[in-house]
């Protein structure tokens, strides 16, 4: 889909929930996944689209300063942070009212959940175009479980035909005048107990929403176990690996297999000149001997390229992972001492530059399968606490 044909939209992102089902003192939208709050992934997907003109994030009072800091540190220029309310509908209404000063009645507003982090441009535009045409539109998914009703005494009353029903999901889109009018006419009962925006548009604005079957990845983080699923999906979607200067074809083959087993894409670059230091976020360098100057230069190059690209002016969306693999004739313990003495202090400064640097050492006689699995594991876990550590591969 061409971005030039996109419908311009503004977004209201309710993020004021307390996450009672999540079972955490911190609201789930601010819980970290891969060292970033969940809400940042959702914001990033909207903010990077040229069709998105304004984003209103509605948060509870205790987290307003924190949200403002996140917005500022990542250079998000389209975002306004607004105070939330006691219920979902009241919070969304606060966000919708904020847009009155910047929108025309015929403009399109998208409402989305902060914890549905796998939103994509195609779905956003499909909902935007449908709502522009009909006044309201929303995404749905087929029901997975059978739906039953109770008689109020704990006994089965009815089993519903799930083929007649579907699960309402996000995003949902509206002509601005439709959703504003619906909220202006809503009752206290709607605000206190309702959760469905499309129903308000039907009930108070007479607008029947077009329903669009959405992709399977529009689920939202609800329970703590969902964090692990989200992390796995993010790694598969976001991590790109390049292997630079590896003359050991056997090792390259093993790396391809180990990364493929984790559903990660890998490219092979013969030299620094052909590798991507800006968009690729995981790089493996290969050496046949330890060279402090070369390792330092290669690592610093990533930061220098970010400067040229303007990324250093803000916090990068994701830290870069750099793994230096050294397979030499030296004893692995001797090589480890060289690395520790030469790199002491450097890795901490690299961490401040959002570079997670690791070292994997082995003797040339060591199994390439062991080395490969260790490299793949380091990249997959990408643990910032372990940045700067040296791993030694033995048979």
pLDDT (tens digit, 9 = 90+) per residue, 19-66?
Answer: 666 666 788 999 999 888 999 999 999 999 999 999 999 999 999 999
Residues 130 and 260 both lie in one domain: no
Number of structural domains (the chain) is 2
Residues 44 and 169 both lie in one domain: yes
* 166 located within any domain: yes
Which CATH number do you get for residue 277? 3.40.50
Which of 199, 224, 249 is the C-terminal boundary of a domain? 224
* 231 located within any domain: no
* 4 located within any domain: no
Q: Which positions ≥6 away from 132 have C-beta within 8 Å? A: 7, 108, 173, 175
Residues 165 and 16 both lie in one domain: yes
Residues 60 and 196 both lie in one domain: yes
Residues 72 and 214 both lie in one domain: yes
The pLDDT confidence band at residue 315, using thresholds 50, 70 and 90, is: low
Q: What is the pLDDT of residue 307?
A: 67
* 230 located within any domain: no
* 1 located within any domain: no
Q: What is the pLDDT of residue 308?
A: 66
Q: What is the pLDDT of residue 330?
A: 80
Residues 256 and 220 both lie in one domain: no
Residues 262 and 148 both lie in one domain: no
Tokens for 228, please give them: 């692990």
Which of 224, 252, 279 is the C-terminal boundary of a domain? 224
* 61 located within any domain: yes
Mean pLDDT of the chain: 91
The pLDDT confidence band at residue 249, using thresholds 50, 70 and 90, is: very high
Range of the domain at 306: 239-393
Residues 244 and 215 both lie in one domain: no
pLDDT per residue as tens digits for the range 75-125: 899 999 999 999 999 999 999 999 999 999 999 999 999 999 999 999 999
Which CATH number do you get for residue 50? 3.90.550.10
Residues 30 and 146 both lie in one domain: yes
Q: What is the pLDDT of residue 215?
A: 93
Instruction: Give CA 8 to chain center in angstroms.
Output: 22
Average pLDDT of the segment spanning 167-177: 97
Ranking 101-110, 154-163, 307-316 by mean pLDDT, the lowest is 307-316
Per-range mean pLDDT, top range of 204-213, 264-273, 299-308, 365-374: 204-213
The pLDDT confidence band at residue 4, using thresholds 50, 70 and 90, is: very low
Average pLDDT of the segment spanning 221-226: 90
Report the distance separating Cα 207 and Cα 210, nearest Å: 9
Residues 365 and 389 both lie in one domain: yes
pLDDT per residue as tens digits for the range 361-390: 998 888 999 999 999 999 999 999 999 999
Question: Which backbone phi and psi does 28 adopt, to 5 degrees?
Answer: -60, -30
Q: Which has the higher per-residue pLDDT, 2 or 375?
A: 375
Average pLDDT of the segment spanning 63-75: 93
Helices within the chain (DSSP H only): 38-47, 64-73, 88-98, 121-134, 176-185, 188-193, 197-205, 225-238, 249-261, 292-309, 332-343, 346-352, 368-381
- Answer whether residue 312 shows pLDDT above 80: no
Find out whether the peptide bond into 171 is cis, omega within 30 degrees of 0. yes
Residues 26 and 74 both lie in one domain: yes
* 2 located within any domain: no
Q: Taking the model in full, what pTM does it have?
A: 0.84
Report the distance separating Cα 27 and Cα 12, nearest Å: 18
Tokens for 18, please give them: 């307390």
The pLDDT confidence band at residue 3, using thresholds 50, 70 and 90, is: very low
């Amino acid at each position: 889909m061409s971005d030039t044909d996109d419908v311009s939209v503004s977004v209201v992102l309710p993020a004021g929930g307390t996450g009672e089902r999540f079972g955490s003192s911190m609201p789930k939208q601010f819980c970290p996944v891969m060292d970033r709050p969940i809400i940042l992934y959702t914001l990033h997907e909207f903010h990077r689209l040229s069709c998105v003109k304004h984003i209103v994030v509605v948060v509870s009072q205790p987290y307003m300063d924190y949200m403002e800091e996140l917005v500022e540190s990542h250079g998000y220029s389209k975002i306004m942070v607004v105070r939330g309310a006691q219920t979902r509908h009241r919070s969304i209404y606060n966000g919708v009212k904020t847009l009155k000063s910047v929108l025309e009645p015929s403009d399109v507003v998208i409402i989305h959940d902060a914890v549905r982090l796998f939103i994509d441009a195609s779905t956003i535009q499909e909902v935007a175009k449908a709502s522009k045409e009909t006044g309201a539109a929303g995404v749905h998914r087929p029901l997975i479980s059978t739906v039953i009703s109770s008689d109020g005494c704990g006994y089965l009353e009815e089993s519903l035909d799930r083929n007649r029903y579907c699960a309402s999901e996000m995003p949902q889109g509206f002509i601005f005048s439709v959703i504003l009018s619906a909220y202006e006419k809503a009752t206290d009962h709607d605000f206190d107990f309702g959760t469905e925006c499309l129903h308000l548009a039907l009930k108070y604005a007479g607008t029947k929403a077009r329903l669009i079957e959405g992709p399977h990845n529009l689920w939202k983080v609800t329970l703590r176990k969902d964090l692990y699923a989200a992390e796995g999906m993010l790694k598969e979607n976001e991590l790109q690996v390049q292997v630079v200067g590896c003359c050991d074809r056997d090792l390259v083959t093993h790396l391809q297999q180990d990364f493929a087993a984790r559903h990660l894409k890998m490219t092979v670059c013969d030299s620094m000149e052909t590798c991507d230091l800006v968009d690729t976020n995981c790089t493996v360098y290969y050496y046949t001997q330890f060279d402090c100057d070369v390792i330092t230069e290669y690592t610093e190059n990533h930061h220098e390229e970010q400067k040229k690209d303007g990324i250093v002016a803000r916090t990068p969306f994701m830290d870069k992972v750099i793994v230096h693999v050294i397979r030499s004739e030296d004893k692995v313990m001797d090589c480890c001492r060289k690395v520790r003495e030469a790199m002491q202090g450097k890795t901490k400064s690299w961490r401040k530059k959002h570079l997670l640097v690791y070292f994997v050492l082995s003797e040339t006689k060591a199994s390439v399968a062991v080395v490969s699995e260790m490299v793949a594991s380091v990249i997959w876990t990408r643990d910032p606490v372990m940045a700067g550590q040296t791993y030694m591969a033995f048979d």
